[in-house]
Chains A and B, each alone.
Chain A
Amino acid sequence: MNVFLTYTVLGLVIGASYAIAASGLVLTYATTRIFNVAHGATAMVMAFVYWELAYNQGLSNWLSVLIVVFGVAPLFGALLERWVIRRVADSGVGVTLVVTCAVLVGLIGAAEKIWPPGVHQVQQFFAGHGLTVGMVRITGNDLLTVALAVVVGAVLWAFLKFTRLGVAMRAAVDDKELLALHGGRPHLMSSIAWAMGSALAALAGILLVSSQPSELNYISLTLLVVNSYAAAMAGRLTSLPRTFIGALVLGLLNAYASGYLWTGPGWTGFREAIPAIFLLLMLLLMPQARLRVGRLAGVAGVRTPEMRRVGLASALLLLAVVLGNSVFSEVNVNRMALGLCFAILALSLVPLTGFSGYVSLAQFSFFGVGALTVAKMHSSAPTAVLAGALLAAVAGILVALPSLRLQGLYLALSTIAFAQIMDTMVFQNPSLGGFGGSLTTKRLDMFGYRFTSDKAYAILAAAVFCVLGAGVILLRKGRYGRVLIALRDSPAACATLGLNPRLARVAVFAGSAAVAGLGGGLYAGLQNQVGSTNFQFFNSLPLLLIVVCAGVTSVSGALLGGILLMALNSYPSTQAYLFLILAVAAVGLGKQPNGITGWLFSLRDNPLGARLGLGSAGIARGIATRSVADKSSAIDGSVSVGENAEVEA
C-alpha cells in the first residue's frame, strides 16, 4: 500500500509539471494555431537561465524564479512571436513545424554555447521540508509543484473564460481579420499567448529540474517536455481541463510503470515509450477530419528538369566525387561518402514532404531499420541492403496505416510517436532485435568488387543517389507524381475523380521509407559500426529542418541537405552557427517554400526583368515556373492574358 501511495504521489507530481508545460502548449496553439515544437527547448533554456541567476550569479532562488517566469521567459516568447512566428503564421503546417523545429535546435545550440557542458545542478525548493503521510514522504518541492499546477490551471481557465482579453484571444484564432474589424488586435493577442506559453514552459522546466536534482541536460530536458505533447493531445490541443487530466494520467502511468512493470529484458524501454504510446493513442482517437474543400492554392514547386539535364547533373556529381577522391584527405573522403548517404536519406523526404506535403519526423527511424538489418545480417551482399530497404518499407506502412485519418500536424505528431517508440523499444532493446550498444558491419561486395575503400564507397553512394534521384524526378513527371501533388492540393477533388487517397498515402510512405532504409544500409556499411544512438528520434528534427531549408521539393535540395547534415555531424563546433543560419533560412520559408535551392533556381529562371513583370515572354515564363516569391507578377501576367478567354465548345 505504501509503495502504491509513493508511486501515486510521484505520478501526481510528474503529472503536475506536465500539466503546466502542456497548458502553455495548448495556449499558444489555441490562440495562433501554431504547434510549438520548441516548447520543451524553451523550458530547457529557461531552466538554464534560472541556474545562471540562482547558482552562478548568486541571486536568491525565489527572486530568480520570479525574474525568469515573469521577465525573461515572457519577453523571449513575445520576441519570438514578433520576429519569427508572425512571419510564418499563414504558411502551412509543414513550414510552421519546420520553423519551430529550427527554434528548437537553435535553442539547444545556443544553450550549449552559453553553458558549455559542466556541472549545472539546482537544489530542491524547500529542501529538507515536507510532509509525511503514513509512511509516504512528500517533499516541499512536490507540494509546490502540485500547488502551482492547480493555481496555473485555475488562473488560466478563469482568464480565458471571464476576462475580455482571454475571450479576445479565443476569438483571434477563429478569424483574425474579423477580430481586427471589431477592434481587436490579433497580433497583440498572439504576442500575449506566446509570452504566457513561454512563461509556463519556464515554470515547468524549473520545477522539473528541481524535483530531480541531477545534472541539467540539454536534450533530455527538451525531450522530457515532449511528454507534454501527449498530455496536450489528450485535450486535442484546445481543452485545458482535458489537458490537465491527460497530464495526470500520463504522470501516474509513468510512475506505476516504473514501480510495477515487470523488468525483464523485453520490457526495457517500454517505460520510456509510454508517453509516445499515449500520444499515439490520443491521435488515433481523434475524430475523422472532413475533407477540406474551398481553396485554390497551389504550393510552389521548382520546375521539373528534363531527363537530359538530369543525366548531365548525375555525370557532374560523379565527376565531382572522383575529383574529391583524388584531392581530399582520407577523413574527408569518408565525410563525402557520409554526406552522400545522408543525401539519400534526405531524398526520401522529397516525394513524402516535397510532393505530398506530409511532414515526417520518423525518417531516421526508417534509416535505422535499414542499418539495423545490414548490421544484424552481418553480410556484405547487396541483398542485405535491399532487405533493409524492404523492412523499412514495412515500417513505413506501419506508420501510415494507423494514421490514415490524420492530417497535417496530427500526422506529423504520430510520426514523432512512432520514432520515439522505435528508438526506445526496438533500437535500444537487443531482445526485440535492436542494437543494444553497437554492432559491426561489413562493406558491400557487389559485381565481384568489394567496396572496402572509402573512395570506392563514395562513388557507390553517389551512383545510388543519382539513380534514386532520377527515379524521383521520373516519379514527379509521371502519373503517380501528379496524383501525389493533386492529393496534396485537393483530396476532395481527387476522391471525386475516383482516386483512393489512402492507397496513395500508404504507397508514398512505403516508398519513402524504403529509400531511407536503403540509405541506412549503405550508411551502416560505411561506418563499419552502428548503434542505437545514431538513429534517435531527435536526429530527425535537424534532418527535416535542414532538408526543408535546403529545398525539399527538388533532388538538388536533397543533395545539399545531405551535405549540410554531414557537416553538422562531422564538425560539431560549427553546430551553433549552422543552426543560426538555418533558423534564419527557416523564417524565409514563408516566402520561399522551395528552400535555398528553390531560391537559386528562381534566380536562374526569372531574371530581374521577369520578376518585375516586364515583357510578355518573362511573364509567360513566370506563370510556368512560378514560385511564391513571384506570385504577384505571375498573377498580373495571367490576368492580362486572360481577359479575352473564350470557350470553344
Chain B
Amino acid sequence: MTRLDVKEVTVRFGGVTAVDQATISAEGGQVTALIGPNGAGKTTLFNVVTGLQKPTGGRVFLDGKDITHTPTHRRARHGIARTFQRLEAFGSLTVEENIRVAADAVRAKNAKPAQVTRGLIKRIGLERYADARADAVPTGVARLVELARALAIDPELLLLDEPSSGLSEAETESFGELLRDLASQGRAVLIVEHDMGLIMRVSDVIHVLDRGRLIASGTPAEVQADPLVRKAYLGEEDEPEDDEGPEDDDGHTLVLSAADPDDDTAAVPPTRPTRPTQPTPPASPIPPLPKGPGPQSGEPASGGWF
C-alpha cells in the first residue's frame, strides 16, 4: 500500500509563511481530508506534494522514498495525481481528449488508452459532455473532468482540491461514494474540501490546518470534539463557514487570515462584499452542511469562469 509522508514542510512567500512545519500523512485504502479556513495553506501543501512548489524547508516521502526534489512529471510517474482548486482542464480540447491525454501519458500502464478513456467517461458520468470542449462545460463538470483525467494515469495517491464545489447535493452524494470506492481499491485519497458534511461522511483521517500550522489530526469524531479546531476553524464568536456547493472558489466567505497565498489574486484586497452568513446554533461546532434542495444548491456554478 502506498503511503505519503509530509514532514515538517514550511513554505514562505516573501514574508508570508503559508505552511509552517506541517507534518501530515496519507495511507492507501483511506480517505484523508485536509481542512482549514481559507489561507490555511492547503493548496500550497498540495503544490508541495506534487512538486509545483518548492518547500522552504521539510521533506516529502512517498513510500519512504524522499521525493522532495523530484520534478513534477516524475512524481506523476511514481503514482501521484491531482486535481486543481482553480480549474486546469485543457480548455481547447474536448472532455474526451482531456482524459485521453492522461491515458496516453502512461501507456506502459494503459495497454488500451482509448478503452481506459471510454471507461472513465462512463464511470464518472461524463458521456453527454464527451465531445464538448472543456472550457464550455459547467464548473462542476470541469472538476469531474479533472478527476477523470487524474484517474486515467491510475494513481496510487490521488489529491483532490475542493472537488465537490459546483456539484449539486445529489451529485455530491454519489461523489462521496466514488471516493470511498477509490480508497477501497487501495488508493490513498487526500482531499481538500469545504463541504463538512461530505468530509465527515467519507474521511478516515482528518488533518486540520490553520494559518499554515497543523492544529489537529484524527478521526472525524476526534477532530469535531477538538477545542483548538473549534476555536481556529470557526472563530470564537464567528459564524460557521458558509459553504454552498455552487460557489466560486473566490467566494468562500469565512476568511480568517487576510490573504490566501495559494491564490493568484492574493495581492489584491477583497473588493467583493462578503455575503452575510447565517447564524447557527452554537451547540454543534462543525455542523453538517444544511444541503437541502434549496434554490442554490442544485445549480451548477457556471458563471465567473468564462
Hey, which chain B residues are within 8 Å of A626, CB to CB? 133, 136
Query: Chain B 85-109 against A: per-residue CB contact (8 Å), 1 yes, 0 no?
Result: 0111111111001101110111000
Taking a contact as CB atoms under 8 Å apart, the answer to whether A492 and B52 are in contact is: yes
Q: Which residue of B lies closest to A174 (CB)?
A: B267
Contact present for A647 and B171 (CB under 8 Å): yes
6 contacts between A and B (CB under 8 A): A293-B84, A295-B87, A497-B153, A638-B136, A645-B129, A646-B174
- The answer, yes or no, to whether B141 is at the interface (CB within 8 Å) is yes
- B77 at interface (Cβ–Cβ under 8 A)? yes
Q: Check if B271 sits within 8 Å of A296, measured CB to CB.
A: no
Give the chain A neighbours of B86 by CB distance below 8 A: 293-296
Q: Which of A293, A296, A301, A501 contacts B52 (CB 8 A)?
A: A293
Known: A479-B104, A495-B72, A496-B81. A649 touches B299 (CB 8 A): no
Instruction: Identify the stretch in A137-145, A239-247, A262-270, A480-488 within 8 Å (CB) of chain B at 4 or more residues.
Output: A480-488
Query: Would B77 and A482 count as touching, CB distance under 8 A?
Result: no
The reply on B167 being an interface residue by CB < 8 A is yes
| Complex: chain B residue closest to A479, CB-CB | B104
Residue pair B76, A496 in contact (C-beta under 8 Å)? yes
The 9 lowest CB-CB distance pairs between A and B, nearest first, are A298-B91, A298-B92, A498-B76, A648-B125, A495-B72, A649-B178, A294-B86, A298-B135, A296-B87
**Is A646 touching B76 in the complex (CB atoms < 8 A)?**
no
User: Is B63 positioned at the interface, with any CB of A under 8 Å from its CB?
Assistant: no
| B287 contacts the other chain (CB 8 A) | no
**Contact (Cβ within 8 A) A490 B105:** no
Docked complex Cα distance between A637 and B132 (Å): 11
Give the contact-size bracket for chain B: 35 or more
B50, B132, B306: the one within 8 Å of A496 (CB): B50
A498 x B105 contact (CB < 8 A): yes
Q: Is the CB of B171 within 8 A of A486?
A: no
With A178-B268, A645-B140, A647-B167 known to touch, is A495 a contact of B76 (CB < 8 Å)?
A: yes
A299 contacts B92, CB within 8 Å?
yes
A642 / chain B contacts, CB cutoff of 8 Å: 129, 137-138, 141, 300, 302
The distance in angstroms between the C-alpha atoms of A645 and B113, with both chains bound, is 25
Beyond A496-B150, A639-B302, list 9 extra A-B contacts (CB 8 Å).
Answer: A181-B271, A296-B134, A298-B92, A483-B105, A638-B302, A645-B125, A645-B129, A645-B168, A647-B125
Let me know if B61 is at the binding interface, CB within 8 A. Answer: no
Give 1 or 0 for each of A286-309: 1 = CB within 8 Å of chain B CB. 000011011111111100000000
| B123 and A623 form a contact (CB under 8 A) | no
Q: Is the interface of B mostly helix, strand, loop or mixed?
A: helix
Query: Is B149 at the interface (CB under 8 A from chain A)?
Result: yes
B35-94 interface with A by 8 A CB criterion: 50-52, 71-77, 80-82, 84, 86-94
Q: How far is the CA of A647 from the CA of B300 in the complex (A)?
A: 13
The yes or no answer to A343 lying at the interface (CB within 8 A) is no
In this assembly, does B11 line the interface, its C-beta being within 8 Å of a C-beta of chain A?
A: no
B170 within 8 A of A: yes
Residues of B within 8 A of A181 (CB): 271
B residues 135-160 in Cβ contact with A at 8 Å: 135-138, 140-142, 144, 146, 149-150, 152-153
Contact A493–B84 (Cβ < 8 Å): yes
Q: Say if the beta carbon of B237 comes within 8 Å of chain A.
A: no
The residues of A that contact B135 with a CB separation of less than 8 Å are 296-298
Given A293-B52, A645-B138, verify A638-B132 contact (CB < 8 Å): yes
Q: How many cross-chain pairs have Cβ atoms below 8 Å apart between A and B?
A: 192
User: CB-nearest residue of chain B relative to A355?
Assistant: B92
**Contact partners of A501 in chain B: CB under 8 A:** 73
Bound-state CA distance A80–B52 (Å) is 40
In the complex, are the beta carbons of B133 and A296 less than 8 A apart?
Answer: no
B128 within 8 A of A: yes
When distances are taken between beta carbons in the complex, the residues of chain A under 8 Å from B88 are 293-296, 490, 492-493
Contacts of A175 in B (CB 8 A): 268
**Given A178-B271, A642-B300, are A496 and B82 also a contact pair (CB < 8 Å)?**
yes
Q: When each residue 611-649 of chain A gets 1 if its CB lies under 8 Å from chain B and 0 otherwise, what string results? A: 000000000000110100001001101110111011111
User: What's the Cα separation between A240 and B101 when bound, in Å?
Assistant: 44
**Cβ-neighbour of B101 out of A299, A301, A482 (below 8 A):** A482
Decide if A605 is an interface residue (CB 8 Å cutoff).
Answer: no
Contact of B87 with A643 in the complex, beta carbons under 8 Å? no
Q: Which of A2-48 contact B (CB under 8 A)?
A: none
Determine whether the beta carbon of A635 is less than 8 Å from that of B306. yes
A291-B302 Cα distance, complex, nearest whole Å: 25
Given A298-B135, A486-B101, A489-B93, A497:B302 Cβ within 8 A: no
Shortest CB-to-CB span from A108 to chain B, Å, is: 34
Is A499 engaged at the interface, CB distance under 8 Å to the other chain?
yes
Chain A's interface size range is 35 or more
A485 near B177 with CB under 8 A, answer no
The answer to whether A529 has its CB under 8 Å from any CB of chain B is no
Is A500 an interface position by the 8 A CB rule?
yes
Complexed CA–CA distance, A196 and B221 (Å): 65
A492 to B53: give the CA distance in the assembly, Å.
11
Shortest CB-to-CB span from A254 to chain B, Å, is 38
Q: How far is B89's CA from A626's CA once the two chains are assembled, in angstroms?
A: 16
List the interface of chain A (C-beta within 8 A of B): 174-175, 178, 181, 290-291, 293-301, 479, 482-483, 485-486, 488-490, 492-501, 623-624, 626, 631, 634-635, 637-639, 641-643, 645-649
Complex CA–CA separation, A500 to B211 (angstroms)? 33
What residue in chain B is nearest A181 (Cβ atoms)?
Answer: B271
Q: Does B124 contact A (CB under 8 A)?
A: yes
Interface status of B236 (Cβ within 8 A of chain A): no
Task: Give Cα distance in the complex from A496 to B300, angstroms.
Answer: 26
Residues of the A chain whose Cβ atoms lie less than 8 Å from the Cβ of B178: 647, 649
Nearest residue (CB) in A for B138 is A642
User: Could you tell me if A624 and B125 are in contact, using CB atoms closer than 8 angstroms?
Assistant: no
CB neighbours (8 Å) of A293 from chain B are 52, 84, 86, 88, 264
**What's the least CB distance linking A427 to chain B, in Å?**
37
Complexed CA–CA distance, A371 and B122 (Å): 52
Known: A293-B52, A645-B138. A498 touches B106 (CB 8 A): yes
Residue of A nearest to B176 (CB): A649
Known: A482-B93, A485-B90. A645 touches B171 (CB 8 A): yes
The answer to whether A634 and B136 have CB atoms under 8 Å apart is yes
Complex Cα spacing A373 to B71, Å = 39
Chain A residues, CB < 8 A from B131: 623-624
Please tell me if B181 contacts chain A, counting CB pairs below 8 Å: yes
The residue from A490, A495, A624 contacting B132, defined by CB atoms under 8 A apart: A624
CB pair B268 A623 closer than 8 Å:
no
Question: Which chain B residues border A490 with CB–CB below 8 Å?
Answer: 88-90
A647 touches B77 (CB 8 A): no
Minimum C-beta distance from B52 to chain A (A): 6
By the criterion CB–CB under 8 Å, are A300 and B92 in contact?
yes
Q: Which of B80, B98, B105, B152 has the most CB of A within 10 A?
A: B105
Give A86 Cβ to nearest chain B Cβ, in Å. Answer: 21
Question: Would you give the shortest CB distance from B240 to chain A, in whole angstroms?
Answer: 26
Nearest-neighbour CB distance to chain A for B149, whole angstroms, equals 7
Tell me which residues across on chain B come within 8 A of A648, comparing CB atoms: 122-125, 174
- Chain A's nearest CB lies how many Å from the CB of B133? 6
| Contact residues in A for B50 (Cβ distance below 8 Å) | 495-496
Chain A neighbourhood of B125, CB < 8 A: 645-649
B-chain residues with CB within 8 Å of residue A499 when the two chains form the complex: 73, 76, 101, 105
Q: Which residues of B contact A638 (CB under 8 A)?
A: 132, 136-138, 302
- B81 surroundings in chain A (CB, below 8 A): 496-497
Contact at B144–A647, with CB atoms within 8 Å?
Answer: yes
Query: In whole angstroms, what is the CA distance A181 to B272 when docked?
Result: 11
Point out the residues of chain B lying under 8 angstroms from A294, CB to CB.
Answer: 84, 86, 88, 263-264
Which residues on the B side are within 8 Å of A645 (C-beta)? 125, 128-129, 138, 140-141, 168, 171, 300
Known: A500-B73, A624-B132. A639 touches B138 (CB 8 A): yes
Residues from chain B with Cβ under 8 Å of A298 in the complex: 90-93, 133-135
Minimum C-beta distance from B95 to chain A (A): 10
- Chain A residues with Cβ below 8 Å from B93 are 298, 482, 485-486, 489
